[in-house]
A and B are shown apart, each in its own frame.
Chain A
Amino acid sequence: MARTVTAQRKAINTGVAWVIGLLIFFPILWTFLTSFKTEAQAIADPPVWFFFDWTLENYRVVQERSNYTRFLWNSIYIAGGSTILGMIVAIPAAWSMAFVPSNQTKNILLWMLSTKMLPAVGVLYPIYLIFIQLGLLDSRFGLTIVIMLINLPIMVWMLYTYFKEIPTEILEAARMDGAGLREEILFVLTPMAIPGIASTILLNVILAWNEAFWTLNLTAARAAPLTAFIASYSSPEGLFYAKLSAASTMAIAPILILGWFSQKQLVRGLTFGAVK
């Protein structure tokens, strides 16, 4: 029997979904609202919702006190750089695993994934010491490499599932149609792989952008990205909620906007292969 959904049931479901959605979104909304309040309004009890004196003061102060653009640039450098480097490694890796698998391919994939199960803090000391030895501490380059390595298993896995979906018969058809390796890659493989590559890039940029553990531990001032920028407002000046909120809003805005415009790609990427 097919499931019948009554109008009432539907209304309840919709209502519940909205409540859950708002609950999840609430902290972001609250941060956003607080960033426009004065410090006094930010800690007012009972809290003020929308009817307060909207002010940009916090943003001005934050920008004055710390150089937002420098943090932003570091974030872009690290997220972009680790993604580009990661793709250079992940595309050929996933490619060969998908199209010329050996009998160890499955094991390698699982082994790569298993590294994600290790708590990151477990390797903090070794990596910290290596960084000191190599003089990479507080350098954007060092951080880019680490974040690339952290996210590499996810990139390879994601690309692998995408490439796996490309039927080999299509590549064989191209060969029969007179395409050499160059034409095969250019006209057949690449156009078919682009959606997968795009989703992977997008997800990786977001993961790298939000990475806080390594950025906080391996940077101090020069290479600190936006995550460190937020953190700098939370610890020593804990009571300045409005300014902390302004800093947070500025830090998450770029990635939020990117995510918003590419949500379709992203969702497809995350659920790809789940339903055939």
Chain B
Amino acid sequence: MGRIVLEQVTKSFGDVTVIPPLDLTIEDGEFTVFVGPSGCGKSTLLRLIAGLEDVTSGSILIDGKESADIPPAKRGLAMVFQSYALYPHMTVRKNIAFPLRMAGMSREEQDRRVERAAEVLNLTDYLDRRPGQLSGGQRQRVAIGRAIVREPAAFLFDEPLSNLDAALRVGMRLEISQLHNRLQTTMIYVTHDQVEAMTMADRIVVLRAGHIEQVGTPLELYRNPRNLFVAGFIGSPKMNLLEGAEARKHDAHTIGIRPEHFTVSTHEGEWSGVVGVSEQLGSDTFFHVHETGLAESVTVRADGELDIKHGDRLFLTPRHERMHRFDRDGHRIA
């Protein structure tokens, strides 16, 4: 079981308030991602749950038990760090067994569990090596192994993939998702990468300056961003945000339209502009369109094999049902 409830949690470092009063419930078995730009307090929030930082006020309930004053070791949570934080002087086997050893488990039981975890994570051949002899991906797997052996109430991941190269990151993303499907244990995952958030999360918590901007499933956030910040943060490439006359036409201060919600044509459309940079991905091409009279640049997604070059004129028609409207304060207009 791993239901985590934060009630009016705050955190200050001296005079600086990092987390203003915050409430959040993470359901048992849920994969929750904290996402936000750097300095938004997502890591601090995770560390508060872990117990590595003390809350300034408020309470943290783990499975109904008040845990704000319990040391990290006693909270029954496991954490995977960005730097892996493996014990360099211990072999992989000893690294993974460490939490079991701390729990006073018998040698046989330790071995049994380590072997099983190693099998799951493809580490069997590396058990007698030291962390220094492993690649980045393998080290991250050892860190995950160390987390899973003790069957924690919840896993906490602090930007675990940031140190890996792009290809490995995609692979590990998949592995962590599969791990969650298999274990069905609560996972809290911190990242600044909205792609990781979208692809892995059951629920995403978008944070800014310690505030929760919005909580929801990836698609809820994608379809109905509650404000401009979430609208700009979720989705890649970013949503086009347009102000001025065009927005006023729709009774809004700002309108938002995602690059994928345009109909693109070379001869007719509601808006038009000149192609600046085009980013070809093969499956899709993203055009940065200038001189539209709407904004400095409008990003649109088009078919990957559309034959349009730099300097060509492009016509765009936004899909009005997918348009987002925001008021002067940046709040969504329903």
* Chain A interface residues (CB < 8 Å from chain B): 167, 169-170, 172-180, 183, 187-188, 191-192
Interface residues of B in 62-86 (CB under 8 A from A): 71-74, 77-79, 81-83, 85-86
Q: Considering the complex, give the chain B residue whose CB is closest to the CB of A177.
A: B99
| Contacting residues, chain A, for B85 (C-beta < 8 A) | 167, 169-170, 172-173
User: Which B residues lie within 8 Å of A178 (CB)?
Assistant: 73-74, 99, 102-103, 150
Whether A177 and B146, one on each chain, are in contact in the complex, defined by CB atoms closer than 8 angstroms, is yes
**Nearest B residue to A195 by beta-carbon distance?**
B89
Is B72 in contact with A176, judged by CB distance below 8 angstroms?
yes
Smallest CB–CB gap between A51 and chain B, Å?
A: 52
The 6 closest A-B pairs by CB, nearest first: A178-B102, A173-B85, A177-B99, A169-B85, A176-B79, A178-B73
Return the chain B residue nearest A180 by Cβ: B73
Interface presence of B52 (CB below 8 A): yes
Given A170-B88, A177-B99, 13 more pairs with CB closer than 8 A: A169-B81, A172-B72, A173-B86, A175-B73, A176-B78, A177-B73, A177-B78, A178-B73, A178-B150, A179-B73, A179-B102, A180-B73, A192-B89
**Chain A: minimal CB distance from B193 (Å):** 20
Residue of A nearest to B158 (CB): A169
Contact with A along B18-60 (1 / 0, CB 8 A): 0000000000000000000000000000000011100000000
* Residue of B79, B83, B85 contacting most chain A CB atoms (<10 Å): B85
Asked whether A175 lies within 8 Å of B72 as measured between CB atoms, the reply is yes
Say yes or no for B222: interface residue by CB 8 A criterion: no
- Which A residue sits closest to B79, measured CB to CB? A176
Q: For the complex, count residues of B whose C-beta is within 8 A of A.
A: 24
A-B contacts, 29 of them at CB < 8 A, read: A167-B83, A170-B86, A170-B87, A172-B52, A172-B72, A173-B81, A173-B85, A173-B86, A173-B87, A174-B87, A175-B51, A175-B52, A175-B71, A175-B72, A176-B50, A176-B52, A176-B72, A176-B73, A176-B77, A176-B78, A176-B79, A178-B102, A178-B103, A178-B150, A179-B102, A180-B73, A183-B102, A192-B88, A192-B89
Tell me which residues across on chain A come within 8 A of B99, comparing CB atoms: 177-178
With both beta carbons as reference points, the residue of chain A lying nearest to B152 in the complex is identified as A176
Q: Which residue of A lies closest to B146 (CB)?
A: A177
B50's nearest neighbour on chain A, judged by CB, is A176
Shortest Cβ distance from residue B76 to the other chain A in the assembled complex, whole angstroms: 9
> B287 within 8 Å of A by Cβ?
no
| Residue of A167, A177, A191, A192 touching B102 (CB-CB under 8 A) | A177
CB of B98 closer than 8 Å to a CB of A? yes
Q: Closest CB of chain B to A116's CB: distance in Å?
A: 32
Report which B residues bind A (CB closer than 8 A): 50-52, 71-74, 77-79, 81-83, 85-89, 98-99, 102-103, 146, 150
CB-CB under 8 A from B74, the residues of chain A are 178
How many Å lie between the Cα of A176 and that of B77 in the bound state? Answer: 7
CA distance A180 to B104 in the complex (A): 13
For residue B152, give the distance in angstroms from its CB to the closest CB of chain A: 9
State how many angstroms separate the Cβ of B86 from the closest Cβ of chain A.
Answer: 8
B50 to chain A: which residues have CB within 8 Å?
Answer: 176
Task: Give A170 to B87 CA distance when docked, in angstroms.
Answer: 7
| A176 to chain B: closest residue by CB | B79
B residues in contact with A187, CB < 8 Å: 98
Which residues of chain A have C-beta atoms less than 8 A from B87's C-beta?
170, 173-174, 188, 192
Of the candidates A173, A174, A192, the one having the most CB atoms from chain B within 10 angstroms of its own CB is A173
Contact status of A169 and B83, CB under 8 A, knowing A177-B99, A178-B99, A192-B88: yes
With both chains docked as a complex, state the minimum distance between the C-beta of A272 and any C-beta of chain B, in angstroms.
15
The answer to whether A172 and B103 have CB atoms under 8 Å apart is no
Give the Cβ gap from B50 to chain A, nearest Cβ, in Å. Answer: 6
Q: Which residues from chain A contact B79 at a C-beta distance below 8 Å?
A: 172-173, 176
In the docked arrangement, what's the CA distance between A177 and B146, Å?
8
Cα(A33)–Cα(B251), bound, Å = 100
Asked whether, in the complex, the Cβ of B73 is within 8 Å of the Cβ of A172, the reply is no
- Among A177, A178, A192, chain B packs the most CB atoms within 10 A around the CB of A177
Q: Which residues of B contact A174 (CB under 8 A)?
A: 87, 98
Contacts of B77 in A (CB 8 A): 176
**With the chains together, A259 CA to B331 CA distance in Å?**
71
Task: Tell me the nearest residue of chain B to A178, going by C-beta.
Answer: B102
Give chain A nearest CB distance to B268 CB in angstroms. 56
A167 to B85, CA, bound (A): 8
Question: A188: which B residues are within 8 A, CB to CB?
Answer: 87
How long is the Cα–Cα vector from A175 to B72 in the complex, in angstroms?
Answer: 6
Give A179 to B98 CA distance when docked, in angstroms: 9
Q: Which of A172, A179, A180, A192 contacts B81 (CB 8 A)?
A: A172
Specify which chain A residues have a CB less than 8 angstroms from the CB of B89 in the assembled complex. Answer: 191-192
CB nearest neighbor in B for A183: B102
Quote the shortest CB–CB distance from A196 to chain B (angstroms).
Answer: 13
Tell me how far the C-beta of A85 lies from the nearest C-beta in chain B, rounded to whole angstroms. 28
Residues of B within 8 A of A191 (CB): 89
Chain A nearest Cβ from B188, distance in angstroms: 13
A174, B89: Cα distance in complex, Å? 13
A183, B87: Cα distance in complex, Å? 13
Contact B81–A177 (Cβ < 8 Å): no
**Inter-chain contacts of A177 with B (CB < 8 A):** 73, 78, 98-99, 102, 146, 150
Question: Closest A-chain residue to B149, C-beta based?
Answer: A177
Q: How far is the CA of A175 from the CA of B54 in the complex (A)?
A: 14
A167 to B78, CA, bound (A): 18
Q: Which residues of A contact B72 (CB under 8 A)?
A: 172, 175-176
Complex interface: chain B residues within 8 A of A175 (CB): 51-52, 71-73
